[in-house]
Structure 1
Amino acid sequence: MIRIRLDVMMAERKMSLNELSEKVGITPANLSILKNEKGKAIRFSTLDALCKVLECQPGDLLEYIEEDAE
């Protein structure tokens, strides 16, 4: 499972969802979907914009968590 750590990065940068939305050019609703891990995919252009604004690497925003095999 891939976990999106957008909420962590926003907290570390002390940036609100609305502020990030304005700087990245993505609607607050779409950012909220990513932030709450409800999204199914992310465009590279979106990831690029988030990394630029948050001054981070893609690995800072994405985390792989192995799911237990059942």
Structure 2
Amino acid sequence: MIKIHIDVLLAKQKMSVTELSERVGITMANLSILKNGKAKAIRFSTLEAICEALQCQPGDILEYVSDVDE
């Protein structure tokens, strides 16, 4: 399972979901799907834009958690 940590990074940057959506160029609906862990995939270009906007690395956003760890 892949966990998404966009909420944590938004809080650290004191940035709203709306602001991130505008900076990255994706809809609020798609950003919501991503941050709630409902997305099936993410484009590298989107991941890159999120990393640039949040000044982070992909590993700060994505975390693999084994089903055994759950």
How far apart, CA to CA, are the structure 1 residues paired with 2:2 and 2:41? 10
2:19: which partner in 1?
19
- Unaligned runs of 5+ residues in structure 2 are none
Q: Residue by residue, what CA displacement relative to the aligned partner does 1:9-52 show, whole Å, maximum 9, x if unpaired?
A: 11111111111011111111100001111111110000000000
Q: Distance in 1 between matches of 2:33 and 2:24?
A: 15
Q: Give the match's secondary structure for 1:3.
A: strand
Give 1:2's aligned residue: 2
Cα distance in 1 for partners of 2:8, 2:54 equals: 11
Q: Secondary structure at the match of 1:41?
A: coil
Cα distance in structure 2, aligned partners of 1:33 and 1:56: 20
| Alignment match, 2:56 | 56
Structure 1: gaps (5+ residues): none
Residue 31, structure 1, aligned to residue 28, structure 2: no
CA distance in 2, matches of 1:41, 1:5: 15
- d(CA) in 1 for partners of 2:68 and 2:61? 22
TM normalised by structure 1 equals 0.93
